[in-house]
């Protein structure tokens, strides 16, 4: 399950729904930049790293090797869940996952400040610098954290190296290596019982025919390789990232489910063709409560963009989509959908990967009538106003992908299951059979 836009599509809610039939839920990339809100029995839970599958007592959760782990925030999350009576015994963390250190957070924040007008608008959680160290081969992994003597040696060298950057490049005070060592040794004691070989655990589950849900954080357009570079995150949220980020072969993945909002949001900097800098944008933000779960920043809001939707179908090989937050559009008289772009007078239907071109794209809209009545209580397609049904059909046909789930509110039951997203027909099959797109 992946995000088909710029993150915050409502993946937390959909993961929670799909976790009901999963034996294992696995995060494969990203770190505590993610913020997933789940509403269960009126209670709101905010998770950054632990998959929302943890709410089901029999579901195992794995934080995979492609993630980056901030132990301090992870431990806070474990404490929060335990304090609510939710067991975290079933949580496993890959020993190969990289660890976010205090210098990563400081460098993330200082480098953003230094970039000025060129800033990315990161979450300031040290994500980019942690992945940079992984690529540079100076990173600390969970397995390094589990070796107290090795960790001391490694951190004395690394903290001094990073201090040179903090002091000389950014004019910041240095970190005390012994304090960092002591703090991370404490973290390692707490996390040790959860640390495992992730690929082995998942392969074993595959052989025992368990159901495994791979949960992407962020979204397709924030992907390091396929998103709106450089305004992206430093990992691979796309479906292919699930293989690399867990050590599972591509033949073991049966199905790919995308999650998209019925409109679009983006947090941080970067081009966003359908952005609404007017009262309509404010209305979407207010009705959708579009404020970041991780940083509290106001999310930029705009109309649904089917060009990026089609791109997400292609890049991820989506079998079906979950459309969330349809209820947010309930009051509108008209709804616009971006069906193509116009760039320097040229009509284009495909997402341009060149960010400079993308920044010059203007949306070409089709206008659909709104339904101007509440959909919050709809529980089947039959309950939906005709205009809402037409809107969904229009999206499905534009993106050539079936809509399997429609979400009409944050609660678990505010959902229409159009078709079984796990056992329903695969997209390729559906097309060869000439079936309709929505149901």
Which are the catalytic amino acids?
Answer: 8, 36
Give the long-range contacts of residues 125-128, CB within 8 A, separation 24 or more.
125/31, 125/32, 125/33, 125/70, 125/73, 125/100, 125/294, 126/31, 126/70, 126/100, 126/101, 127/30, 127/31, 127/32, 127/33, 127/68, 127/100, 127/233, 127/234, 127/235, 128/233, 128/234
Q: At its nearest, how many Å lie between ligand GDP and the CB of residue 409?
A: 5
Residues forming beta bridges with residue 196, ordered by sequence position: 94
Please report the DSSP string for 314-326 in residue order.
HHHT-SEEEEE-G
Is the four-CA dihedral 163, 165, 166, 167 of positive or negative sign? positive
Please give the distance of CA 51 from its chain centroid, rounded to a whole number.
11
Q: Which stretch binds ligand IMO (CB under 6 A): 191-199, 214-222, 245-253, 359-367?
A: 214-222
With CB under 6 A as the contact rule, which of the stretches 34-42, 152-160, 376-384, 418-426 interacts with ligand IMO? 34-42
Interface residue with ligand GDP, options 35, 53, 64, 421 (CB under 6 A)? 35
Rounded least distance, CB 235 to ligand IMO, Å: 8
By beta-carbon proximity to ligand GDP, the closer residue of 103 and 272 is 272
What is the size of the binding site for ligand GDP (CB under 6 A)? 21
User: Do residues 402 and 396 lie in contact, with contact meaning Cβ atoms separated by under 8 Å?
Assistant: yes
Residues 31-50 that bind Mg ion (CB under 5 A): 35
Choose the contact partner of 340 out of Mg ion, ligand GDP, ligand IMO, none; CB within 5 to 8 A by kind. none
| Site membership for ligand IMO, residue 33 (CB under 6 A) | yes
CB neighbour class for 426 (10 Å; exposed up to 12, middle 13-18, buried from 19): middle
**Any contact of residue 77 with ligand GDP (CB under 6 A)?**
no
Taking the chain, what is the end-to-end CA distance rounded to the nearest angstrom?
A: 20
Q: Give dist(CA 52, CA 215) in Å, integer.
A: 9
39: phi then psi, degrees, rounded to nearest 5: -110, 115
Q: What DSSP assignment string belongs to 77-97?
A: HHHHHHHTT---TTEEEETTS
Binding to ligand GDP, residues 278-317 (CB under 6 A) = 293
Q: According to CB under 6 A, which one of 15, 52, 59, 123 is a site residue for ligand IMO?
A: 123
Q: What are the CA-CA distances from residue 80 to residues 123, 132, 173, 243 (Å)?
A: 21, 30, 32, 30
Window 231 to 250, contacts with ligand IMO (CB under 6 A): 233-234
| Nearest alpha carbon to residue 387 among 439, 329, 437, 340 | 329
Nearest approach in angstroms of CB 326 to ligand GDP is 6
Contacted entry of Mg ion, ligand IMO, ligand GDP, none for residue 128, CB cut-off 5 to 8 Å set by kind? ligand IMO
Among 8, 60, 77, 112, binds ligand GDP (CB under 6 A): 8
Q: Does 34 bind ligand IMO (CB under 6 A)?
A: yes
268 binds, among ligand GDP, ligand IMO, Mg ion, none (CB under 5 to 8 A by kind): ligand IMO
Out of 50, 55, 328, 329, the residue judged to bind ligand GDP by CB under 6 A: 328
128 binds ligand IMO (CB under 6 A): yes
336 binds ligand GDP (CB under 6 A): no
Give me the least distance between CB of 187 and ligand GDP, in Å please: 25
Helix-strand-coil split of the chain, %, nearest 5: 40, 20, 40
Binding site for ligand GDP (CB under 6 A): 3, 7-13, 35-37, 39, 293, 324-325, 327-328, 407-410
Binding site for ligand IMO (CB under 6 A): 3, 6-8, 33-36, 120-123, 125, 127-128, 217-219, 222, 233-234, 267-268, 293
């Amino acid at each position: 399950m992946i995000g088909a836009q710029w993150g915050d599509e409502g993946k937390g809610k959909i993961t929670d729904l799909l976790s009901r039939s999963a034996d294992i839920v696995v995060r494969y990339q990203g770190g505590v930049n993610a913020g997933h809100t789940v509403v269960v029995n009126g209670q709101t839970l905010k998770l950054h790293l632990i998959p929302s599958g943890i709410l089901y007592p029999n579901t195992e959760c794995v934080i995979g090797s492609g993630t980056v782990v901030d132990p301090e925030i992870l431990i806070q999350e474990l404490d929060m869940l335990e304090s609510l009576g939710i067991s975290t015994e079933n949580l496993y963390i890959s020993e190969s996952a990289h660890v976010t250190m205090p210098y990563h957070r400081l460098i993330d924040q200082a480098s953003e400040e230094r970039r000025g007008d060129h800033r990315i608008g990161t979450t300031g959680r040290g994500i980019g610098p942690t992945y940079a160290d992984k690529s540079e081969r100076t990173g600390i992994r969970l397995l390094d954290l589990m070796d107290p003597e090795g960790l001391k040696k490694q951190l004395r060298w690394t903290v001094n190296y990073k201090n040179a950057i903090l002091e000389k490049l950014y004019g910041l005070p240095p970190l005390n290596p012994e304090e960092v060592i002591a703090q991370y040794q404490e973290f390692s004691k707490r996390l040790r019982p959860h640390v495992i070989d992730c690929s082995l655990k998942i392969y074993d589950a595959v052989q025992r025919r368990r159901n495994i849900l791979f949960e992407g954080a962020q979204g397709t357009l924030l992907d390091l390789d396929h998103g709106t570079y450089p305004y992206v995150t430093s990992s691979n949220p796309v479906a292919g990232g699930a293989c690399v980020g867990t050590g599972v072969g591509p033949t073991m993945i049966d199905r790919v489910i995308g999650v998209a909002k019925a409109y679009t949001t983006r947090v941080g900097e970067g081009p966003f063709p359908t952005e609404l800098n007017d009262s309509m944008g404010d209305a979407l933000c207010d009705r959708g409560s579009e404020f970041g779960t991780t940083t509290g920043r106001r999310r930029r809001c705009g109309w649904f963009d089917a060009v990026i939707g089609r791109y997400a179908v292609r890049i991820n090989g989506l079998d079906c989509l979950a459309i969330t937050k349809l209820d947010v559009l309930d009051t509108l008289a008209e709804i616009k959908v971006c069906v193509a772009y116009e760039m320097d007078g040229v009509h284009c239907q495909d997402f341009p990967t060149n960010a400079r071109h993308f920044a010059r794209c203007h949306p070409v809209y089709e206008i659909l009538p709104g339904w101007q009545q509440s959909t919050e209580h709809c529980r089947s397609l039959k309950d939906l106003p005709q205009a809402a049904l037409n809107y969904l059909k229009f999206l499905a046909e534009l993106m050539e992908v079936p809509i399997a789930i429609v979400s009409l509110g944050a609660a678990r039951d505010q959902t229409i299951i159009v078709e079984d997203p796990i056992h329903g027909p695969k997209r390729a099959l559906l097309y060869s059979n000439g079936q309709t797109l929505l149901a």
